[in-house]
Chain A
Amino acid sequence: MPNKNEARYNYILNLADNTLVLGQRLSGWCGVGPFLEEDLALTNTALDIIGQAQMLLNLAIEIKGEGTVDDLAFLRDQHQFKNVLLVEQPNGDYAQTMFRQYMIDSYHVHLYRALVDSSEKQLAAIAEKSLKEVNYHKERSELWIKRMALGTSEGLERLQKAANNLWHYQHELFENSEELDKLVKQGIAADPNQLQQNWLNDVSKLLAKTPIKTPQSGWRATGGRLGHHSEYLGKMLCEMQFLQRAYPNCEW
């Protein structure tokens, strides 16, 4: 693959893997949601996100010029996944799931808003399509955070714990690199600095409406884009890829 294509491929694969891994994670709530309506709602969110993953993976293989979406989803090993560590973190309780969801929803809204103008035409079309969906997801996760934070003391306590756990994973969403910087200058990728500013504005506005304290910065998660993952991804892939690994090319 020529260098020029490799940078585009890596960029799109990162976006695709973020959605694929998050979609699979959220699907873990299927059948065990806190109540039936919420079980359906969150798995419908997961479905939207898996749909986005499918479109992004399709674009990735178009750029690469070989392989299939299923190869990328089911036959890559952990170190070949480029997602940020935030999306592979365990679901935990509903506070942890919803806080992670809000972090990602807000990121997706600003990301897709920026990519609507991408010079990569198919990426712009995917962004236009997905933006409508993630706007709705964000409304939902925002409502849940308010409901839990302003409801009982237990809800607030659990949310604060989730915020403390997840806060330092944000930096990876906005990591820059020489390769990414070039894509931003070419009008293909969204500017990570701009994204981070918009994201921080959103999150601080929401947290200001609740008693949740913004966690102090200390450490920064990093490594996902290079394929260095936490212990949780491998276990998730074992389940997600089992069928294609055990019965190659199985269809139903």
Chain B
Amino acid sequence: MKCSFYSGLIQIVSGDIDHIGEVLSKVTDPEIPVLSLQDLGVIRNIEITTTKIIVTITPTYTGCPAMEVMEQDIKQVLGDEFNKSIEIKTQLSPAWTTDWITAKGKKALFEYGIMPPSKSGKIVCPQCQSMQVELISQFGSTACKALYRCTDCLEPFDYFKCH
């Protein structure tokens, strides 16, 4: 059984994946509360056995402290809902890329005030939609973001870098 919102990356052994997916959708990036872990693209695999649920995740940035919080949060919500032990596995390869952020996730980022990764290089101010922007710093508040400023509305904003 394959589950479409994981873009076919999930191998399901057995069990109620939809229910697990629903529960997991409540877990968000601790730094970006509008982005679920599924939309961020860090959940790579879910396996269900008679006694355990094994969730395989991939780190965004190697040193990102949010990863540890995400692991704890996954354990917490699944543990509360299912009477099984929860195991988290970390998989490094293939390396996470911002291409795995879903369209829904990108939209949520923009509405939240963070410009989502732009492969074309076109960066738009999430406050006023102006394209008159300038780079302030290659890193913003976290490793995954850069800091920009809109020269029209003069507001600074974060840009989620292509990675």
**Shortest Cβ distance from B41 into chain A, in angstroms?**
14
**Interface assignment of A128: CB less than 8 Å from any CB of chain B:** yes
A235 to B161 alpha-carbon distance, docked (Å): 36
Give the dominant DSSP class at A's interface: helix
What is the number of contacts between chain A and chain B, taking CB atoms within 8 Å?
68
**Interface assignment of B130: CB less than 8 Å from any CB of chain A:** no
Q: Residues of B within 8 Å of A, CB-based: how many?
A: 22
A50 to B61 alpha-carbon distance, docked (Å): 11
Q: List chain A residues, Cβ under 8 A from B141.
A: 40
Asked if B137 and A41 make an inter-chain contact with CB atoms under 8 angstroms apart, the answer reads: yes
**Interface assignment of B1: CB less than 8 Å from any CB of chain A:** no
**Shortest Cβ distance from B70 into chain A, in angstroms?**
14
A118-132 CB mask vs B (1 if < 8 Å, else 0) is 000010111011111
Asked if A44 and B143 make an inter-chain contact with CB atoms under 8 angstroms apart, the answer reads: yes
**Shortest Cβ distance from A216 into chain B, in angstroms?**
33
Cross-interface CB contact of A40 among B63, B93, B137, cutoff 8 Å: B137
Near A by CB (< 8 A), chain B positions 93-145 give: 93-96, 136-143
Asked if B92 and A48 make an inter-chain contact with CB atoms under 8 angstroms apart, the answer reads: no
A41 to B141 alpha-carbon distance, docked (Å): 8
Q: List chain A residues, Cβ under 8 A from B65.
A: 47
**Interface assignment of B57: CB less than 8 Å from any CB of chain A:** no
Q: List chain B residues, Cβ under 8 A from A232.
A: none
Cross-interface CB contact of A48 among B61, B94, B137, cutoff 8 Å: B61
Q: Residues of A within 8 Å of B, CB-based: how many?
A: 30
Q: List chain B residues, Cβ under 8 A from A132.
A: 95, 163
**Interface assignment of A93: CB less than 8 Å from any CB of chain B:** no
**Shortest Cβ distance from B143 into chain A, in angstroms?**
4
Q: Which stretch of A1-9, A51-59, A207-215, A240-248 is in the interface?
A: A51-59
Q: List chain B residues, Cβ under 8 A from A129.
A: 59, 62, 92-93, 95-96
**Interface assignment of A178: CB less than 8 Å from any CB of chain B:** no
Q: List chain A residues, Cβ under 8 A from B95.
A: 125, 128-129, 131-132
A25-48 CB mask vs B (1 if < 8 Å, else 0) is 000000000000110110011111
Q: List chain A residues, Cβ under 8 A from B9.
A: none
**Interface assignment of B147: CB less than 8 Å from any CB of chain A:** yes
B142-157 CB mask vs A (1 if < 8 Å, else 0) is 1100010000000000
Asked if B62 and A136 make an inter-chain contact with CB atoms under 8 angstroms apart, the answer reads: no
Cross-interface CB contact of A50 among B63, B93, B138, cutoff 8 Å: B63
Q: List chain B residues, Cβ under 8 A from A172.
A: none
A94-134 CB mask vs B (1 if < 8 Å, else 0) is 00000000000000000000000000001011101111110
A203-227 CB mask vs B (1 if < 8 Å, else 0) is 0000000000000000000000000
A124 to B141 alpha-carbon distance, docked (Å): 30
Q: List chain B residues, Cβ under 8 A from A44.
A: 139, 142-143
Q: List chain B residues, Cβ under 8 A from A50.
A: 63
Q: List chain A residues, Cβ under 8 A from B139.
A: 37, 40-41, 44-45
**Interface assignment of A49: CB less than 8 Å from any CB of chain B:** yes
**Shortest Cβ distance from B90 into chain A, in angstroms?**
9
A48 to B143 alpha-carbon distance, docked (Å): 8
**Shortest Cβ distance from B58 into chain A, in angstroms?**
9
Q: Which 10 A-B pairs have the closest CB atoms?
A: A51-B63, A51-B62, A37-B137, A125-B93, A41-B139, A47-B63, A125-B92, A44-B139, A44-B143, A129-B95
Can you offer 16 A-B residue contacts whose CB atoms are under 8 A?
A23-B63, A37-B136, A40-B140, A41-B139, A46-B63, A47-B61, A47-B65, A50-B63, A51-B62, A124-B93, A128-B93, A128-B95, A129-B59, A129-B92, A129-B96, A132-B163
Please name 10 further chain A to chain B contacts, defined as beta carbons within 8 Å, in addition to the given A128-B93, A129-B95, sorted by A numbering: A37-B137, A41-B137, A44-B139, A45-B139, A47-B64, A51-B59, A52-B62, A55-B62, A124-B93, A129-B96
